[in-house]
Structure 1
Amino acid sequence: MAGEDGGGGGPAPAGPGAGVHSGDHVPAPIVTNGEAMDIRRQTSHQSSNGQEEFPLSPRVHTPNPFSRKNTSMDIDDYFSGPRDLQKHSKWPLFLQMHGSILPKMVVPLLWVGAWSTIITWLSLTETIPNVNLSISSILLTVTGFVVGLGLSFRNSTAYERYAEGRRYWSQLTLTCQSLARVYWVNTKEREQCSKEDLLAKITALNLLTAFAVALKHKLRFEPYTYYEDMEDLVAHLETYARSATQDDDVFKPKKPNVFKVVGEHLGISFAASNPRKIIKKAQSPLGNLPLEILTYLAAYTDDIIGNGQLPIPMTQTMACKFFVSVPGVRSLTDNPDNGMQALNDVMTGTERVLTTPLPLAYTISISQITWAYVMLLPFQLIKDLKWVTIPAAVCASYIILGLLFIGREIENPFGNDVNDLPLELYCQQIVQDLETVSARPRPRQTEWVQSSRNKLMFPHSESSYRVWAGRSEAAIRQALRSRPHAQYEKETVNSTATTVKTEDGADRV
C-alpha cells in the first residue's frame, strides 16, 4: 500500500527497532508502535556528481486524486460537478449546457407547455361549448410584484450562503499557507535528531492537507476514510472514522442505475438520494474527523514549542491562540485568526452554512407562490395572444422558474452539483502550495542577500550586491536618498533640453 511506505514523501524514519543489513540496498524494517512496516526495494541512481539519489518510491502512475483533469467528458460527466474551473469553453454563454439549469427545467417546462395547451384548446375550440377561461391581466401585474420580491429574497439569501462558503475556504487556504511557513521555516531542526524533525515537519504539512480533504468529505456527508483522496492521508492516525471504516459491515453506497442518474440530472425529486443516508446507516461512532486531525496538529504544535524548536513568541502566536492572564487587559495575542483557532473557525463556520438553510416555511411558500403564478399565466394571456399563449407561457415560465431553480441550486455550496464550489480544486491548491513551501530547505540570508544577482537599487542602478558592499555606508544612504528624485530629475533634464533647442533654433541640445 502506498501510504505505508511513503510513496509520496521520500524515505521513512528509522524506528526504535530498526536494524542495519549490510550488503544490499533494502532498508531495514521499521517498528512503530509495535508494528513492523515493510519497505519496498528502492532502486538507487547515480547523479551527475557521482552521488546516489533515491527517487520517490514506489512510483505511482495514477491520476491525481485532487484533480478532475483526468475525468472523461461523456454525457454523465458533462452534467456532473462541481465545475472544473481549469477547463475553458469557447461556446457563447447562451449555448453552454455545462452549469446551466436547463436540464432540470425540462420536466417543469413540459408540464407548463401541456397545461397551457389544455387551457388554450378548451378556450379556443368548440369541443366544450360556452367555455371561456380567460381572466383579466390585472392579476398578472399584482401577483408579479409579489413573485419578484420572493424570488429576489430567495436568490440573495442563497448567494449569500454561497459567498460565505467561499470566504471560509479562502480563509482555510490562507491558514494552511501560514501554518506551513511556521512549521517549515520557523520551526528549527535539532542537530541530534534533524532527520526525525524533518520527517515530523513533512507529516505536519500532510495533516494540513488531510484536514482540508476531511472537511470537504464531512460537508458532503461522507464520514468514512475509504475515499481515494483520504485513505492514505489518515491511515496512520487513530480516529473514529478510521475505526468505523475497518468494520466488516461498513456501508458503501452502490453505484446508481441509469434511471436514477437521469432523474437526478433532470431534477426529479423522487430520484434524489438522501445525502445523509451514509451517516444514518452507520453501525459505529463516526466521530468528527477534521476535529480529530486538528488535535494531532495541536499536539505537534505544543511539542515543538515545548522542546524549544519554536522559540520566538510571534511565530508561536501564528501557530496557535494564546491567552495572557492579566486582569482587566485583553491579550494582544487573542486573535481568532491564528493557527489552530482559525482552522477550528473554518470548520464550525462551514458547518453553520451547511446546517442553516433558508427556513422551510420560506422555501415552501416561495415555491408555491411561484408555481401558482406560472399556472395562472395561460388564463391571463389567452384573451390577447390566442394560440401564441402556449409558447409565451413556456418562455415566461423559463424565466421565472429559472430564478427559482438557481436559488435552490446554489443554496448548498458544498455539494456535488455543477454550480457548487469546486472543493477538489481548493484542496489541490492547498496541496500545491504546501509542496511549494517544502520543496526547498529554510532559506539562509547569506545565500540570497549576498548573491551577485541581487541588484539592490534596480531599476535605478544595475550594480549588484558586491558592488554596493564595496562602497561606504554614507554612499549607500546617499543613493537611497537620491532614488526618489531620479524620475523627476530625468523629466526636468528632458524639458530643459527641449526648451534650449527651441529658443536657439539650432540643431544642438
Structure 2
Amino acid sequence: MSSQPNGHGPSINGRQNGEPNGHHGSPSAATEKVAPATPSSLESPHIVSHRTMPVRPGDKRAVDLDNYFSGPLDPTKHSKLPYFMRLHGSILPSLVMPILFVAAWATTITVISERVHSLAVDSLLLTVLGFVVGLSLSFRSSTAYERYAEGRKFWAQMTLHSRNLARIIWIHTSEGEGEQGKDDVLGKVSAINLILGFCQAVKHKLRHEIEADYADLEPLIDHLDTFAKRARSSDRSATAHNLGLSNRSKFQTWGENLGLPFCESNPQKSIKVARKQGKHHGNLPLEIMNYLSSYYEHCIKSGTLTGPCWQSQVSTSLMLMMDAYGGCERVLSTPLPLAYNIAISQITWLYVLVLPFQLCAKLRWAAIPGTIVAAYIILGIAAIGREIENPFGRDVNDLDLDRYCTSLQLDLNVLTSSPPPKAQEWLKAPANTPLWPYSLSSYDSWRARQEGEIRRALVHRVDHQSVELADHEDSAKRVEGRHGGV
C-alpha cells in the first residue's frame, strides 16, 4: 500500500455503470485501491468529478473475452438466447481441458478396442458405479447450494438491518438548533456512512482482501484508527497492487478460465504474505462496528435518541448485522471436508475413465461421443458444486456483493437526500386523498366535513371497491398526475 496520503478527489476509481465486473481483465472497485492524485485546478478539490476519472481498458463496452467468462453475473443484463445456448454463466469454459482429455482417452481406448484387441468389460460395472456417482454428486450439489443459499440469506439480513439502522438514525435521532443542528446532521450522515463502510468491509473480508484503502471503502473509513490503516505504511503501493491485479499473464487468465488447476490464484495469498512479514491487519468490520456502537452510546448520552423502543431497535440491528457477518464467515470458513472433495473427485473421474471400456462393445465408434457427453454431464455437475461452494468469490455464479453494496449505497443516499419528514406536512398535502378510490377529495376537504359523514364514506368505500375504474384492471398502466406537485 502507498505510504502517501490517499486522495478523495478525482482519482477515486469506482466501477462505472454498466462496466463488466471482471476480475482478470480489469479490477473492479472491490479490489482496486485509491491512488493519490492532484485535483484539477478548474474544479474544487473537495468534489469528486466523474469527468476526470481515468478510463481503464476494462471500462469499454466492447466484448472482452477475459471479462465474458468471469463474474459475478449482472442480473440487469437480459439475454434472449435460450438457456441451452448461453455461454456466459455456463461451466462449459472451465470444462474445455477436462473434456479434451476425456475425448483423447476415449478415442485411444476405442481405437485399441477396434483395431488391436477388445478392451470391453461387462456393463454391470457401469450400473454399480453409476449409483455411487449419482449419490456422490447429489450430496456434492446439495451441500454446495445450501452454502450458496445461506450466504445470500445472511447478506440479505445484513442489508435489511443496515437499512433499518440507517432509518432509525436519520428519522428518530433528533437534531438541535443552529450550530448544534449542523453537528447533529453531519454526525448522522457520518454514522450512516459507517453502516455502508461496514458492509463494504465485510465484502472485502470475505474475499480475503485485508487492506483498507480500496476505492469503495477508503473514503468511508479513512478517518478511523484501525489496524489495517496502521499496516498501510509498510504495504506495497496502491499503484503496484492495481498493476498486479490487471497484469496477469494470458496463460494464467485463460488457464484458469479453461479449468487448469495449476493456473488458479490463491485468494489468501495477501494474508500469508502479511503473516510472514509479521503484520496484523485486524478485523476491520468489527472495528467499524465498534465506532458505530460508540455513536449509539453518544446519542444516548446526549439525549438525541431518547425513545427506549428506538434504542432497543438500534442495539438489535447492530447485533443482527454482526450476526449476519458471523454467519458469512461460518459459510466461508467451513467448506466441505477435504476428504469428501477428494473422494468425490476420484469417484467421478474413475467412472468417466472406465466409461469407454463399457461403451465400446455395444456403441463401437459411437463410444467416443457417448463418453464425451456423459463426461460433460458428470464433470459439469461436480464443477457447479465447486463454483458455488464459496458464494462470496468472483466466479461467474457467485453472489454479486459489489452490486449489493452499490444498491445499499443508493438506498442510504436516497434516505439522507431529504430531511426527516414531518407528519403534519405530508398529511395535509393537497395530493393526499385519504378515501381513494371512493373519493378524490383532499385531506383538507374531508377535514371540513362532519365526523359522521367521514365514517359513512368509509363504509361506502368498501362497496365501492367492486366499481371498475378506467384502466385500473391493468396495474402496469400509468396515469397522468391530477394534483400537481406536493
Same fold (TM over 0.5): yes
Question: TM class, shorter-chain normalised?
Answer: 0.7 to 0.9
Q: Where does residue 292 of structure 2 map in the other structure?
A: 297
Displacement of 1:39 = 11
Q: Where does residue 367 of structure 1 map in the other structure?
A: 345
Q: Where does residue 106 of structure 1 map in the other structure?
A: 96
Deviates more, 1:373-382 or 1:246-255: 246-255
Displacement of 1:177 = 0.8
Whether contact under 8 Å (1:82, 1:422) holds in the other structure is yes
Q: Where does residue 417 of structure 2 map in the other structure?
A: 439
Whether contact under 8 Å (1:3, 1:233) holds in the other structure is no
- In structure 2, C-alpha distance between the alignment counterparts of 1:454 and 1:280, rounded to whole Å: 61
Q: Which amino acid aligns with 2:302?
A: N
- What pairs with 1:43-442 in structure 2 (closer than 5 Å)? 57-61=47-51, 73-126=63-116, 131-192=117-178, 193-249=180-236, 252=241, 253=244, 255-282=247-274, 283=277, 284-320=279-315, 338-442=316-420
**Quick one: structure 1 residues 216 and 390, their matched pair in 2 at CA, closer, same or farther if it must change by over 3 Å?**
same
Deviates more, 1:248-257 or 1:290-299: 248-257
Unaligned runs of 5+ in 1: 8-37, 45-54, 321-337, 492-509
Shift >4 Å, 4+ stretches: 38-44, 62-65, 68-72, 248-251
- In structure 2, C-alpha distance between the alignment counterparts of 1:458 and 1:216, rounded to whole Å: 45
TM-score, with structure 1 as normaliser: 0.79
Structure 1 residue matching 2:294: 3-state secondary structure: helix
- In structure 2, C-alpha distance between the alignment counterparts of 1:78 and 1:2, rounded to whole Å: 32
- In structure 2, C-alpha distance between the alignment counterparts of 1:383 and 1:234, rounded to whole Å: 68
Structure 2 residue matching 1:223: 3-state secondary structure: coil
**Quick one: structure 1 residues 398 and 180, their matched pair in 2 at CA, closer, same or farther if it must change by over 3 Å?**
same
- In structure 2, C-alpha distance between the alignment counterparts of 1:391 and 1:40, rounded to whole Å: 62
Q: Which amino acid aligns with 1:259?
A: F
Q: Where does residue 445 of structure 2 map in the other structure?
A: 467
Q: Which amino acid aligns with 2:393?
A: G
Deviates more, 1:83-92 or 1:387-396: 83-92
Structure 2 residue matching 1:61: 3-state secondary structure: helix
- In structure 2, C-alpha distance between the alignment counterparts of 1:424 and 1:231, rounded to whole Å: 15
- In structure 1, C-alpha distance between the alignment counterparts of 2:52 and 2:187, rounded to whole Å: 26
Structure 2 residue matching 1:136: 3-state secondary structure: coil
**Quick one: structure 1 residues 343 and 316, their matched pair in 2 at CA, closer, same or farther if it must change by over 3 Å?**
same
**Quick one: structure 1 residues 352 and 99, their matched pair in 2 at CA, closer, same or farther if it must change by over 3 Å?**
same
Q: Which amino acid aligns with 2:294?
A: A
Q: Tell me which structure has the larger Cα radius of gyration.
A: 1
TM-score, with structure 2 as normaliser: 0.83
Whether contact under 8 Å (2:8, 2:48) holds in the other structure is no
Identical residues among aligned pairs (%): 47
Q: Which amino acid aligns with 1:122?
A: I
Displacement of 1:69 = 7.9
**RCO comparison, higher one (Cα < 8 Å, 6+):** 2
- In structure 1, C-alpha distance between the alignment counterparts of 2:232 and 2:77, rounded to whole Å: 34
Q: Which amino acid aligns with 2:310?
A: T
Whether contact under 8 Å (1:40, 1:58) holds in the other structure is no
Structure 1 residue matching 2:224: 3-state secondary structure: coil
**Quick one: structure 1 residues 247 and 450, their matched pair in 2 at CA, closer, same or farther if it must change by over 3 Å?**
same
Q: Would you tell me which structure has more helix in proportion to its own residues?
A: 2
Q: Which amino acid aligns with 1:94?
A: F
1:3 to 8, 30, 43: 8
Structure 2 residue matching 1:179: 3-state secondary structure: helix
Q: Where does residue 31 of structure 1 map in the other structure?
A: none
- In structure 2, C-alpha distance between the alignment counterparts of 1:310 and 1:183, rounded to whole Å: 8
Aligned pairs, how many? 427
Q: Which amino acid aligns with 1:443?
A: P
- In structure 1, C-alpha distance between the alignment counterparts of 2:94 and 2:382, rounded to whole Å: 11
- In structure 2, C-alpha distance between the alignment counterparts of 1:343 and 1:63, rounded to whole Å: 33
Q: Which amino acid aligns with 2:355?
A: L
Structure 1, residues 133-190: CA drift from partner, whole Å, max 9, x if none? 1011111111111111110110010000000000111111101110111111111111
Question: Could you say what the CA RMSD is over the residues aligned between the two structures, in angstroms?
Answer: 2.6
Whether contact under 8 Å (1:455, 1:465) holds in the other structure is yes
- In structure 2, C-alpha distance between the alignment counterparts of 1:288 and 1:198, rounded to whole Å: 29
**Quick one: structure 1 residues 85 and 378, their matched pair in 2 at CA, closer, same or farther if it must change by over 3 Å?**
same
- In structure 2, C-alpha distance between the alignment counterparts of 1:207 and 1:388, rounded to whole Å: 62
Displacement of 1:89 = 1.9
Q: Which amino acid aligns with 1:185?
A: I
Structure 2 residue matching 1:458: 3-state secondary structure: coil
Displacement of 1:464 = 0.8
- In structure 2, C-alpha distance between the alignment counterparts of 1:315 and 1:374, rounded to whole Å: 60
